[in-house]
Structure 1
Amino acid sequence: MNTSRFALVAFILAPALLAACTQEQQNKLGREIQNWTGTNGVLEIYAGDKVVRRFLNIDKISTALGTDDGKPRAYRYGYGVLDENMNMLADAGEKKVYFEISDYTNAVFFESPR
């Protein structure tokens, strides 16, 4: 089988195989791919239409799970560099910090354009 035919078959079969996975299996696969490729995420927190906090160099944001019941909690957490001067750069003196955001926080997470 030549390379282009193999690529076509893989392209056609991949969605079917992915659809057969449970949502949790798809999430785990997505995290493994994301962790393997790496990310350079930015999290912006808004108060109205104004950015009030920005975290840089985030590799992932995780959902908190209950200790006893294992159920998802209403917040997310992660680690990122607090962009204190809001210039989209991790400057000297700006440190990596732990953060938590509730499900009700006005926030946008995106891959850094830099």
Structure 2
Amino acid sequence: MKKLLFALLLAGLFGCTQEAQNQLGRSIQNWTGTNGVLEVYSGDTLVRRFVKIDKLSTAYGTSDSQARGYRFGYGVADENLDGLAGPNEKKVYFEVSEFSTYVFYEQP
């Protein structure tokens, strides 16, 4: 019975489109969390870094449900840009515009 259930699950997963698989992966990651880092650049210069981010979320309108031009999240503001959450660095809310140059990645 377990083998049959597992086989059906795999068949369903491989039968999904790439986008559906990506959405499933993001849903699992949203549930489990990520130790993410967001770096914001001005040209080729790093100007802001946020660490210990669970996820970035796309903002949606309340009345029209349309995606807004920014992403938001919560993370520790890495004031000294050393890549670590220091004892004096606080968890903050942040927003980044779709026009910003930023990189989001999982902390290695």
Q: TM-score normalised by the shorter chain: which range applies?
A: 0.7 to 0.9
Whole-angstrom CA distance in 2 between matches of 1:52 and 1:22:
33
Report the TM-score when normalising by structure 1.
0.79
Specify every segment of 5 or more residues in structure 1 that has no aligned partner in the other structure, as ranges.
none
Once superposed, which parts of structure 1, at least 4 consecutive aligned residues long, lie more than 2 Å away?
A: 9-12, 29-32, 35-38
Structure 1 residue 96 corresponds to structure 2 residue 91: yes
| Counterpart in the other structure of 1:48 | 43
Conservation of the 8 A alpha-carbon contact between 2:73 and 2:93: yes
Q: Residues 31 and 22 (structure 1 numbering): CA distance in 2 closer, same or farther, change over 3 Å?
A: closer
**Deviation at residue 37 of structure 1 after TM alignment:** 2.9
**Deviation at residue 98 of structure 1 after TM alignment:** 0.4
Q: Percent identity?
A: 54
Whole-angstrom CA distance in 1 between matches of 2:81 and 2:54:
19
Whole-angstrom CA distance in 2 between matches of 1:36 and 1:102:
25
User: Alpha-carbon deviations, 1:49-78, whole Å to 9, x = none?
Assistant: 111000000010000001211100010000
CA-atom RMSD, angstroms? 2.7
Conservation of the 8 A alpha-carbon contact between 2:56 and 2:71: yes
Amino acid in the other structure paired with 2:47? V
Whole-angstrom CA distance in 1 between matches of 2:26 and 2:102:
20
**Deviation at residue 44 of structure 1 after TM alignment:** 0.1
Q: How does 1:1-114 map to 2 (within 5 A)?
A: 9=7, 13=11, 14-16=13-15, 18-19=16-17, 23=20, 27=23, 29-113=24-108
Report the TM-score when normalising by structure 2.
0.83
Specify every segment of 5 or more residues in structure 2 that has no aligned partner in the other structure, as ranges.
none
